Structure 1
Amino acid sequence: MNDSYDAPADPVERAHLLERVHAAVLAGDRAPHQPRPVVVESWRRSLRARIDPDGWEPPVSFDSDQLGDVRDAHPLAAWIPLLRRTLLEAADGSTHIMIVTDADGNILWRQGDPRVCRDADRVRLAEGTRWAESAIGTNAMGTTLATGAPVQIHSAEHLVRTYHSWTCAACPVRDPETGRLLGSIDLSGPLHTMHPALLALVVTSARLVESELRSRMNARDDVFLERNAHHLARLRGAGALLGPSGRIVATAPGSPLVPGRRIAIDAAGGDVVLDGGEAAEVEPLPEGYLLRVRQGGARVPRRPRLSLTLLGDATPTATVDGSAHDLSLRHAEILALLALRPGGLTAERLALLLHGEQGNPTTVRVEIHRIRAILGHDVVKTRPYRIDAELDTDVDLARRALRRGDVRTALDCHAGPLLPRSESPAIRDEREELLAALRTALLGAGDPEHLWRFAESETGRDDLEMLEKLHDLLPRDSPRRTTVRARLRRLLEDEV
């Protein structure tokens, strides 16, 4: 398990030690041993997600009526029989269960000994439930998806005490075509079944599935190349055949492009700029794309990449090409307004949006000069003032998630109100608009887990309508319902 301390080899003795470590760390006391770094970081992420170590349960993402369709559509479905043979037969199927999740941590398949499955049902380690860290805290499936690396979690390394009698090992699976996470493969069982070889077995199984996926991809590449090699032969310069994801399948003779690399493309084709600055054209083909590098090696200056973090109580930040800068409130307000209005703003308009009729354009010009000195003149342009960079913001991420109905991602992005200390009229309007959209989506979806997350935030803890909705949806015996009822009583008494 790559321990950072000399822990007992016996899994039960180790579990007793981890219980003491778990209790001490959560109480803020000195622990008898330091937890492993992967566990420490996972506990921090889980606690930031407001996971309660006592009595927390995984949410249900898919009921039994939905599960079949979700499984059929998942790219790992074809490899479940292979995994069953390699994992359950090799790992003593009487003491372990095999679990396969999607990239969001939802359990799609669970197979193994019926007795272990019954024990798993009692703690909702069941098909259709979600085991991402943000939903249930530290566990092998959620942590392997969060880190992108194999991991074994034993006993009280789980943040939630309900799972201290379990041990689990998991490994992520990636799509060789796109590089994206497809899900995770996990072996779980009673804590006395822990063995270091379990992690190696899970990793081997994941690599076997990736190898099979790669073989299928290579077979598709061969057919694609056979049907489209004539396009490469007719090119007068550098170029390549690209797969559906933009992965370079084959290159023209003498081309500097590297097979296997990916190029960010639009599904409809069009112009792109390569890593070296060369301008190229992408033409759609029936099974992929043809990329032509423009004659003469014309280069297009690469635009800087700017990322803005503007939501929540933390200090707002601007990250330019990987270099992060803390922002003053005034600079954050200006950048937020420029990000929200990509066409640009004059100094006069910016002053009005920032301060209303009392705004001073001269003050705005001074602040813009300071911003450009910090972030670079290539990032913020003048006449009019505008952001000239590949831009992403947490505000835009939250809005895009809401537009596609992805409430969970919107909640993940919405760390809090937009620049909550800002008194700018325009920022206030944007703040209220985003919050209203999030509340509408939450109330419409009616998911108790999402409503609870919002109710536990500073923004939502005194939201009467949200709390009433959550109270109606929670089971009568839920401890959360008692908490919500007490909070509602307090709010209603304050109104009297």
Structure 2
Amino acid sequence: MKDTPLDKHSTAEPNLPPLPPLPPLPRYAKAAPYAQAAPAGERPPAAPRPEIDASWRRAIRMGLDPGRGPAEGGELLDRDELEERRQASELGAVLRALGAGPGGQGGMVDASTQIMVVSDDEGRVLWREGGAGVLRRADAIRLEEGANWSERGTGTNAIGTALALRLPVRVHSAEHFAHALRAWTCSAAPVHDPRDGRLLGAIDVSGPAPGFHPTTLALVSSVARLAEGELRERHGRSVDRLRSVAAPILCRVGGRALAVDPHGWAAAVTGMAPVDRLPLPKSLRPGRIWQPSLGMCTVEPLPGGWLIRVDEESRQEEAREGAPGRVVLDLSHPRRWSVTVSGPAGDWTQALTPRHAELLYLLATHRSGRSAAELALDVFGDPTRTVTVRAEMSRVRRHLAGVLAHRPYRFTEEMEVQVIPPPAPADLLPHSTAPAVVRARGA
């Protein structure tokens, strides 16, 4: 297949022991599926797994019909837009590097009965690979390049649900929301950009339900982690190149300054304590900007990054005027969350990881503050996991100096804090299993 990063292998490796059979369908899948019973107001025959139940409910709230055909999930991307998305994706080159030659990742999939799929962060299929027979069957359910396999487009399925939860997911047979997909089983794992935590897409293996193996979820999870590791190594090499360029320049700069890559990772620092990463606006340009942890700064371009110099006079003036006064925590999107800090010099928006979104939400709803033990109980249900909480809060406070205080952890008293929730309370941080967030969804 043209322009695909995956290798084609039509047969499994010989002389392997027979695979154990797939566990039997759960009781609720054998009987009338929940996706059919719930819209009609009927009681499902048995309780589904929590992640499947939550996904079905999201599909119902979006008004999806479980009886609609595969072609009703929306139009395919035209060839130009598909190619544009492929070129913009980080996943193509990474998976090509992992799967090149015999024994690559493509060889782990039996191409005669399974199809490997790579989607972008919106659930659009960018590439797929498999044998001719299984590809024809995939065409029948529109598991083809350019198709929309987000939950909004197709309902509960491994690609869309893994993207919604940001976790590996297997959807087996009648666990699919759409009736047309009940003959299939699929396993998918999300891939995140290690540089900024951004969701890049998902890797999926799908096939007819009777021949599917229960270890497939572990396979796709491993491939996703390998892809993230490859991205991490490439990023490390680019930071090393920036450091070699920036080091002689920083030797001549007076005062505090640092060189960062386009994602804010520091390559070299002078006149200040080392930092791992500096949050940068998406549209950073040369000139003067306000940065929450540094104040007013001057930005200059470097090959492969930026030189950021702290304006000491503006920093002192800002300290006299007071700290920033408003924080907006935006949790309205199911997969992207951000915090915006407003101060006398302007606004600053920082994208949030899932864990940091949880922590800031909890602090926003407990303005008097939370101890490390209380946050550990809120997030993990275990008050003894304070070391993990302190480490995460240290990372959050590194980017929000002057906004967060500690002992207990809290937003500073002078800050005005606003939370923008999702339209439906049940969609609050859908990836989260934190007990406090789960309770908030129910409320």
Verify same fold: TM over 0.5. yes
1:102 paired to 2:120 = yes
Relative to structure 1, is the Cα distance of residues 302 and 196 closer, same or farther in structure 2, using a 3 angstrom cutoff?
farther
Provide the identity percentage: 35
Relative to structure 1, is the Cα distance of residues 264 and 139 closer, same or farther in structure 2, using a 3 angstrom cutoff?
same
Contact 1:240-1:292 at 8 Å conserved across structures: yes
Contact 1:238-1:256 at 8 Å conserved across structures: no
What secondary structure is seen at the aligned counterpart in 1 of 2:268?
strand
1:18 paired to 2:18 = no
Task: Give 1:37's aligned amino acid.
Answer: P
Q: TM-score, normalised by structure 2?
A: 0.63
Q: TM-score, normalised by structure 1?
A: 0.57
Task: Give 1:13's aligned amino acid.
Answer: P
1:67 paired to 2:82 = yes
Contact 1:168-1:189 at 8 Å conserved across structures: yes
Deviation of the 1:239 alpha carbon: 2.9
Deviation of the 1:277 alpha carbon: 6.2
Contact 2:21-2:213 at 8 Å conserved across structures: no
What is the aligned partner in structure 2 of residue 262 from structure 1?
279
Task: Give 2:303's aligned amino acid.
Answer: P
What secondary structure is seen at the aligned counterpart in 2 of 1:14?
coil
Relative to structure 1, is the Cα distance of residues 392 and 267 closer, same or farther in structure 2, using a 3 angstrom cutoff?
farther
Relative to structure 1, is the Cα distance of residues 377 and 222 closer, same or farther in structure 2, using a 3 angstrom cutoff?
closer
Distance in structure 2 (CA, Å) of the matches to 1:275 and 1:68: 38
Deviation of the 1:302 alpha carbon: 2.2
What is the aligned partner in structure 1 of residue 46 from structure 2?
33
Contact 1:106-1:130 at 8 Å conserved across structures: yes
What is the aligned partner in structure 2 of residue 302 from structure 1?
324
Distance in structure 2 (CA, Å) of the matches to 1:148 and 1:86: 25
Larger radius of gyration: 1
1:239 paired to 2:253 = no
Could you list the per-position Cα deviations for residues 301-348 of structure 1 after superposition, in whole angstroms to 9, with x for gaps in the alignment?
1232236999xxxxxxxxx974479xxxxxxxxxxxxxxxxxxxxxxx
Distance in structure 2 (CA, Å) of the matches to 1:192 and 1:219: 45
Unaligned runs of 5+ in 2: 1-19, 333-341, 343-359, 367-412, 424-443
Deviation of the 1:97 alpha carbon: 0.4
Distance in structure 2 (CA, Å) of the matches to 1:393 and 1:266: 25
Task: Give 2:82's aligned amino acid.
Answer: L
Distance in structure 1 (CA, Å) of the matches to 2:331 and 2:244: 47
Deviation of the 1:55 alpha carbon: 1.4
What is the aligned partner in structure 1 of residue 299 from structure 2?
282
What secondary structure is seen at the aligned counterpart in 1 of 2:230?
helix
Deviation of the 1:139 alpha carbon: 0.8
Deviation of the 1:75 alpha carbon: 2.2
Deviation of the 1:33 alpha carbon: 2.9
Relative to structure 1, is the Cα distance of residues 145 and 287 closer, same or farther in structure 2, using a 3 angstrom cutoff?
same
Distance in structure 1 (CA, Å) of the matches to 2:414 and 2:242: 45
* Aligned-residue RMSD, C-alpha: 3.5
Task: Give 2:75's aligned amino acid.
Answer: V
Task: Give 1:149's aligned amino acid.
Answer: L
Higher RCO by CA contacts (8 Å cutoff, separation 6 or greater): 2
Task: Give 1:76's aligned amino acid.
Answer: L
Contact 2:174-2:181 at 8 Å conserved across structures: yes
Distance in structure 2 (CA, Å) of the matches to 1:231 and 1:79: 33
Q: How does 1:372-387 map to 2 (within 5 A)?
A: 379=416
What secondary structure is seen at the aligned counterpart in 1 of 2:324?
coil
Deviation of the 1:108 alpha carbon: 1.1
Distance in structure 1 (CA, Å) of the matches to 2:242 and 2:60: 48
Could you list the per-position Cα deviations for residues 15-63 of structure 1 after superposition, in whole angstroms to 9, with x for gaps in the alignment?
6641425244444444343211111221122222211111143222413
Relative to structure 1, is the Cα distance of residues 49 and 17 closer, same or farther in structure 2, using a 3 angstrom cutoff?
closer
Could you list the per-position Cα deviations for residues 255-295 of structure 1 after superposition, in whole angstroms to 9, with x for gaps in the alignment?
33422453446421444454546443333323211122343
Deviation of the 1:194 alpha carbon: 3.2
